[in-house]
Structure 1
């Protein structure tokens, strides 16, 4: 059978179109978990970018918020206030097998999954003191990393999970960021100052953190681990928040230096800053996806917060949710 050249070109074009569409669909075939305040009750939901199907994962009358995927995407942790205290809960990716990991020890204020997803670091406040503990996901065993008297705040894990960053506020003479081996006893001073929100880059070369300055602003600093030096990369009178690294060690943060909260990207390799959003409303809570190609964020574009995503360049911004209720926070 003889196939004409025109038919061959049509067949090639059709096959190429299917391939491109397939690649495009796979690039955003991801699940996003978020908490939303619907009718005065904050619960956790999941939305799939492939078909925008929404699934409600929690249904209790308490407050469920700050959902975060484990790094292997098998579990979702979240904070819940179902009685007098904030507790740490965990559930499967579909909302099944929900259980508390830490409760009745005080308020769980913050938490961080370790890179291998088998442990979670938590920041606990009993109303008098604040400290850091590590909980094993499998057997729920709890080990304290810091003493209550130190008034510690949680930072991030090293890429290999061997170290955990935290800040000390209780030591007036030596405030700053420290790293400690949760499996051992070694503790190392990393920075000296009124520093917080320490976040380790995936390549292990940098630590991003906030430093409280004399004018009362939280400036954004980068600590070069190899050179043991810290640099102020945003020396202004405004707060930089929501520090988060991409897989390629590009840093996202928000700032109000242009009049309202916008999202920025910083590349420590070439010391280059790029503004990613530009409008008259609040844009915040930026989160990289696993590939480092897309950024999830929250925007008050029409009077209440909804979810959007964009490419790492800030281009091709797409709306994910269009609701009459407020999106509180999200992760993917």
Structure 2
């Protein structure tokens, strides 16, 4: 861990990771009595599918930490059927989801679903999704997202994606997967490390650092086509890319002029501008969601802490220190609403995830681990994904911002690191 942190401050942190089917293990679902009881019926016609959409929906809702499945077995009910409200009330369901799958003339599948409020004896409407066979999991995610929106009043995150890096032997792979770790596909394979993936705001590109040329170079990778371009290949270290909220710029850390400092660059690789100037090491820049500030890690106080400056740089008002609760703090990440900041702090000899309220300054520990790294917020701000160790093995762990719900994503026999949670896909 000491080596890891030295490399981090030098912006050469080697979070690594390989393509194996991900297995999600849920450790806890939150407070039992507060879970919303819902029955998801088997969709009529889904037996013709290579993958049952209701399995995806049920799994998503179980992982949400807010839903409890009321067993409905293998019974089917179409989207246009009228439920027996009295019967479902007696079975303890507050909501019911039904659906129908039909094949379209072009060979795709149309999934129609409807949600019912059992307590109020009314339909809450539904959704129609038309997908190809290899998009059936996405259809299930969209249905689950709609259920969360209708019942809880917040946008679901099941349709979002993850990126992470896997190392297996000498192989390093940048992987893109569904939010549950399934449907994993390699975006890049290399015999050299790949670190610091960062999603563009539209979810179409990922910036990352690759060592394939035997030095750290920042690339921007277009996921749909596989096309990638060099964003920064300056002398020395090129590291820690972070997108602006409008996707026009990236902040990055470069050592081209001596100590590692923060720079801003246009998304097409032009217009490099230096933002910090000093003898300290400044690294890990992160844009605030309102687009006004850049948060970053600096050892200017003698040990790493988190600071904030204008997007125009330190010359525009200086830099404000943001963390005071711990003597060693790295890896700032801002929640999508800008209210909270996640970071890793050293506590004794352990490195653990914490959450700071940016209004009050209050800090909540979210982990009791020893080697937490690289936190990343879900698009709705409710969960934080980070690299950790469980049972002595590298895993990705997701925790709710209140610390009550935890989930583990593990890949047997692999070293999985450097997670980044993608944005909402409109």
Q: Give the alignment's TM-score, normalised by structure 1.
A: 0.66
Q: Which runs of 5+ in 1 are unaligned?
A: 1-8, 278-282, 284-296, 306-326
Q: What is the match of residue 317 of structure 1?
A: none
Matched, 1:241 2:324: no
- Equivalent in 279, 286, 301 of residue 149 of structure 1: 279
Give, in whole Å, the separation in 2 of the partners of 1:55 and 1:258. Answer: 26
Does residue 303 (structure 1) correspond to residue 303 (structure 2)? The answer is: no
Q: Does residue 250 in structure 1 map to residue 382 in structure 2?
A: yes
Residue in 2 that maps onto 1:24:
140
User: Paired residue for 2:310, among 181, 188, 195?
Assistant: 181
Q: Matched residue of 1:16: which SS?
A: strand
Question: Shift in Å at residue 158 of structure 1?
Answer: 0.9
* Among 172, 177, 184, the residue aligned to 1:42: 172
Residues paired across the two proteins, number: 275
The answer on whether the counterparts of 1:255 and 1:264 sit within 8 Å (CA) in structure 2 is no
- Equivalent in the alignment of 1:216: 349
Following superposition, the deviation at residue 237 of structure 1 comes to 7.3
Give 1:105 shift: 2.5
Residue number in structure 2 paired with 1:140: 270
Partner of 2:51: none
Q: What does residue range 252-267 of structure 1 map to in structure 2 within 5 Å? A: 252=384, 253=386, 256=389, 263-267=397-401
Match of 2:134 in 1: none
Q: What residue ranges of structure 2 are gaps of 5+ in the alignment?
A: 1-76, 83-97, 102-111, 114-127, 130-138, 144-157
Show the counterpart of 1:289: none
Are 1:43 and 1:65, in contact at CA under 8 Å, matched by a contact in 2?
Answer: no
**Post-superposition shift, 1:137?**
0.8
Between Structure 1 and Structure 2, the one with more strand by share is 1
How far the C-alpha of 1:164 sits from its partner, in A, is: 0.8
Aligned residue number for residue 288 of structure 1: none
Q: How does 1:88-127 map to 2 (within 5 A)?
A: 88-125=218-255
Deviation at residue 46 of structure 1 after TM alignment: 5.2
Partners of 1:222 and 1:11 lie apart in 2 by 42
Is the Cα contact below 8 Å between 2:253 and 2:261 reproduced in 1? yes
Q: In 2, Cα distance between the equivalents of 1:10 and 1:151?
A: 61
Superposed CA offset, 1:134-173 (max 9, x none): 111135211112225211121422111211111221332x
Q: Structure 2: how far apart are the matches of 1:79 and 1:273?
A: 31
Q: Quickly say closer, same or farther: Cα 1:68–1:200, change in 2 above 3 A.
A: closer
Structure 1 residue 75 displacement after superposition: 2.4
Partner of 1:5: none
Query: What CA deviation, in whole Å up to 9, does each residue of 1:21-59 have, x standing for no partner?
Result: 94526456666655555784535465689xx88876557
Q: Is the 8 A contact 2:253 2:283 kept in 1?
A: yes
Distance 1:149 1:95, change over 3 A: farther
Find the aligned partners of 2:160 and 2:367 in 1 and give their Cα distance.
36
CA distance 1:43–1:127, change in 2 (3 Å): farther
Instruction: State whether structure 2 residue 328 is matched by structure 1 residue 198.
Output: no
In the superposition, relative to structure 1, how do residues 216 and 130 fare at CA in structure 2: closer, same or farther (>3 Å)?
farther
Q: Which residue of 2 aligns with 1:324?
A: none
Q: Secondary structure at the match of 1:24?
A: helix
Q: Over the residues paired in the alignment, what is the CA RMSD in angstroms?
A: 3.9
SS of equivalent to 2:337: coil
